[in-house]
């Protein structure tokens, strides 16, 4: 993969989203910060043309950002050159099956150690997904980051 740049969310936006997640989603400061970091990763995937859904936790951060519509509109216009709509799936709007697996894309782009599997709801995938990691690295990651590492495997 060629060079890429992570999306930059303005510091005022970050402060707002973190505060909203803490106050309305009852997240700890650390959880809110992790969600914002993964929101940055999600926005980066969008910037590079990926289509797909974030995890529930990242979606909460995205919703928080969107609720401040002037702030969000300014951010999306400056970052993407357009307003980025949020269109959730529901009975009247089903997936057409063409979405990208954004989590796997981010792992390939950033590496397993730079994407928070817990925020993406993908803890176990990191143990087996990253083909660039050795079996020892995957097992160490599992033991360090997943509470029940007995479920982790080192097979590809």
Q: What number of H helices and E strands is found in the chain?
A: 8, 0
Tokens read off for 113: 């150690």
Looking at the structure, tell me whether residues 75 and 18 fall in a common domain.
yes
Residue with more model confidence, 122 or 40: 40
Residue with more model confidence, 124 or 114: 114
What is the domain extent for residue 130?
122-151
Q: Is the pLDDT assigned to residue 145 strictly greater than 90?
A: no
% of the chain residues with pLDDT over 90? 46
CA-nearest of 132, 135, 91, 116 to 37 is: 116
Average pLDDT of the chain to the nearest whole number: 78
Tokens read off for 20: 């909203």
| Lowest-confidence pick of 39-48, 78-87, 143-152 | 143-152
The domain total for the chain is 2
Residue 143 lies in a domain: yes
What confidence score (pLDDT) does residue 111 get? 74
Residue 130 lies in a domain: yes
Looking at the structure, tell me whether residues 131 and 76 fall in a common domain.
no
Q: Is the pLDDT assigned to residue 13 strictly greater than 70?
A: yes
Distance CA 126, CA 115 (A): 9
Looking at the structure, tell me whether residues 22 and 72 fall in a common domain.
yes
Mean pLDDT to the nearest integer, 144-154: 38
Q: Are 145 and 124 in contact (CB under 8 A)?
A: no
Judged on CB neighbours under 10 Å (0-12, 13-18, 19+), 97 is exposed
Looking at the structure, tell me whether residues 20 and 75 fall in a common domain.
yes
Residue 100 lies in a domain: no
Q: Which of 54, 80, 106 is the last residue of a domain?
A: 80
Residue 102 lies in a domain: no
Residue 61 lies in a domain: yes
Q: Are 62 and 18 in contact (CB under 8 A)?
A: no
Residue 37 lies in a domain: yes
Residue 137 lies in a domain: yes
Q: CB atoms < 10 A from the CB of 120, how many? A: 23
Residue 63 lies in a domain: yes
Three-class secondary structure of residue 93 per DSSP? strand
Tokens read off for 130: 């990253």
């Amino acid at each position: 993969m060629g060079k890429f740049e992570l999306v930059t969310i303005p510091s005022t936006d970050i402060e707002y989203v973190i505060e909203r997640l803490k106050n309305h989603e009852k997240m700890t400061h650390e959880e809110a910060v992790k969600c914002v970091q993964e929101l940055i990763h999600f926005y980066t995937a969008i910037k590079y043309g990926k289509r797909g859904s974030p995890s529930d936790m990242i979606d909460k951060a995205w919703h928080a950002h969107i609720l401040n519509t002037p702030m969000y509109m300014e951010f999306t216009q400056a970052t993407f050159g357009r307003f980025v709509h949020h269109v959730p799936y529901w009975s009247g709007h089903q997936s057409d099956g063409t979405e990208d697996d954004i989590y796997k894309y981010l792992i390939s782009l950033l590496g397993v150690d730079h994407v928070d599997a817990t925020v993406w709801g993908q803890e176990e995938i990191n143990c087996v997904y990253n083909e660039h990691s050795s079996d020892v690295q995957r097992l160490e990651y599992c033991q360090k980051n997943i509470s029940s590492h007995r479920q982790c495997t080192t097979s590809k």
